[in-house]
Every structure is written in structure tokens, then in C-alpha cells.
Amino acid sequence: MAIGFIGLGNLGTAITTRLKEVGEEIIVYNRSKEKCEKLGLEIAQTPRDLVQKCDTIFICLFDSHAVREILVMKDGLLSEDLAGKTVIDLTTNHYDDVVEFHEVVEEKNGAYLESPVFGSVAPALKGVVTIVASGKEEVFARSKTFLEKIAKEIFFLPEPSSASKMKLINNLCLGSFMTTIAECTALGEACAIDKKMLLEILGVGGGQSLVLAAKKQKLLEEDFSPHFSNGAISKDLHCVQDLAYSLERPLYSAAVPKELYSKMKQEGKAQEDFSSIYQLFK
């Protein structure tokens, strides 16, 4: 049976491309039909159509507001009985909202697996992202076959919202590292150090990281076409601050990066790759 897929942003497009390459039949729904047509896949007119045609439906959207809309809109996923259906949500959701999503899908007799993706376009195209999932163990067990088609590393944290919290914590590292690498790059250039040499040295020195390895070419070429956007990391850093607040904990290292990415949004660069924060320091 075909897999349903909702959301053809940068990451969603990469994952559907990967699923197609490994031989899966996919039916897609996206608000912009133009993106669907470019992929050459069967197009559903509504999320409800996917429920009628598919037992497994992936969701990959920008945030919890978009997920909620897909669930409750007219002809949304919740407009049908979901008995025998599994919703695998790849979105980076707010940790509070995702608990509600578990509940409302289960109230309609369906199964919901919270499965945020760690990684962006390039690893998604190769099927080597990391996924952390939360939900019922039996739902995870039967969904794992699908997850293995798109992910190299898969982890399971049973308690609802745990995967979303882990994703936000991970993105605190991601946003902080990128901010530091960008500022170090600009500082080195101000010292008249060749940027290519500078990044090579950082790459074997204190800057050695998956973040630098992934973004080195973007910094060199200043090609900031989006893999993971400023808008997305800004949203996630706001959410991780909410998480710290809910635990009555300070969160020192999130504050400055969050404001810097908010500045990028203010300057109209929300859709650029988050490595473009380099421009603030240059």
C-alpha cells in the first residue's frame, strides 16, 4: 500500500525523494500543488484523501501550528476514523503541543508516533538522518521498517514529548555551534587569514564538528540556499527556552543565538540557510 506524505518543504521534499528512490509508492498532500507536481508523485486533494488511501501517513511541517491545522481542518486527518492508521510526525513540534497530538489521534482510534528528524536536506537525500521517536512501543515497532528507509540512527524514548524535547536540546547545540563558527570565521577574516585556510584549521582544531563539516562549503561560497532555515532554528530556540522556563531553569547559551537568528528574520532572511548568520559578523 502507498505511503501518505504531508509537507513538501526542504526536508519533506528530500525525504519523499529518498522514499521514492528506495521503491516506495507515495501519495503526497501539500498546500502548494506546484511542489507536488515537480516530484511527479500522485497528489491527494485533502489530508482526508490520504487517510482513505494509506495506512501510514508521514507529516513533515514547519511547526505545531501547521500540524494542528492538518489534523483539524475541514477534510483534515481527524475528519475520518483512523482505525488501522499510523501517523508518523517528523515535525519539530513544541513539546506541549505534541502531547495533544498523541491524544487526539488516539481518540480517533489511530496511532501517533512523534519522530522528529535530526539532520537536514543532504543527509535526508541519502537516508542517513537520525530519528528519535516517542509513543507506544508497539507503534514504534511496526513503524521502524519505514523509519529505517530514511534514517541511519534511530532512538526510542517512550514517554510522549520526550523526542521533541530531545530535538530541541539538540538544536540548542546546533544553533550555538553555528553561531560560534560563523563569528570565528568573520574574526579570522578580519585578521587577514584566508577563509579557506581558516576553515581547514578550525576543522581540525577547536571548531571540529558535524556542523562545520556540513556548512564549510556554504561559508566558503556564501551560498545560503536553505537546507535548515534561520526561521526554523529561531523557532526551535524559542521553544527550548520555553522548556527551560517550564523546568524553572536558566538557559544561558540559548539567549544570544536566539536573538541573532531573530535578527536574521527581521532582516528578511528567515528562508536562508541558518549558516547565513555569518553575514551578521562579516
- Is residue 26 located within the same domain as residue 126? yes
What pLDDT shows up at residue 1? 86
- Is residue 133 located within the same domain as residue 205? no
pTM reported for the whole predicted model: 0.95
- Is residue 261 located within the same domain as residue 170? yes
- Is residue 85 located within the same domain as residue 169? no
- Is residue 26 located within the same domain as residue 136? yes
- Is residue 175 located within the same domain as residue 220? yes
What pLDDT shows up at residue 33? 76
In the numeric block, the cell 501539500 is attached to 30
Question: Domain of 66: which CATH number?
Answer: 3.40.50.720
- Is residue 36 located within the same domain as residue 143? yes
Question: Domain of 231: which CATH number?
Answer: 1.10.1040.10
Q: Is the CB of residue 143 less than 8 Å from the CB of residue 70?
A: no
Q: How far apart are CA 117 and CA 175, in angstroms?
A: 15
Which of 137, 159, 181 corresponds to the end of one domain?
159
Which of 131, 159, 187 corresponds to the end of one domain?
159
Mark the ranges of the chain whose per-residue pLDDT is less than 70.
none
What pLDDT shows up at residue 35? 75
Q: Which amino acid is at 275?
A: S
What pLDDT shows up at residue 39? 83
- Is residue 104 located within the same domain as residue 232? no
Give the residue numbers spanning the domain of 62.
Answer: 3-159
- Is residue 9 located within the same domain as residue 133? yes
Which of 130, 159, 188 corresponds to the end of one domain?
159
- Is residue 89 located within the same domain as residue 208? no
What are the start-end ranges of the H helices in the chain? 10-21, 33-39, 47-53, 64-72, 97-107, 121-126, 137-147, 162-190, 195-204, 210-221, 230-246, 252-266, 278-281
pLDDT, one tens digit per residue, over 199-258 is: 999 999 999 999 999 999 999 999 999 999 999 999 999 999 999 999 999 999 999 999
How many domains does the chain divide into? 2
- Is residue 144 located within the same domain as residue 12? yes
Task: Identify any residues that bridge with 28 across adjacent strands, giving them in sequence order.
Answer: 5, 43
What pLDDT shows up at residue 209? 96
- Is residue 64 located within the same domain as residue 202? no
Q: How far apart are CA 20 and CA 41, in angstroms?
A: 9
C-alpha grid cell, residue 95: 513539546
Other C-beta atoms within 10 Å of 159: how many? 10
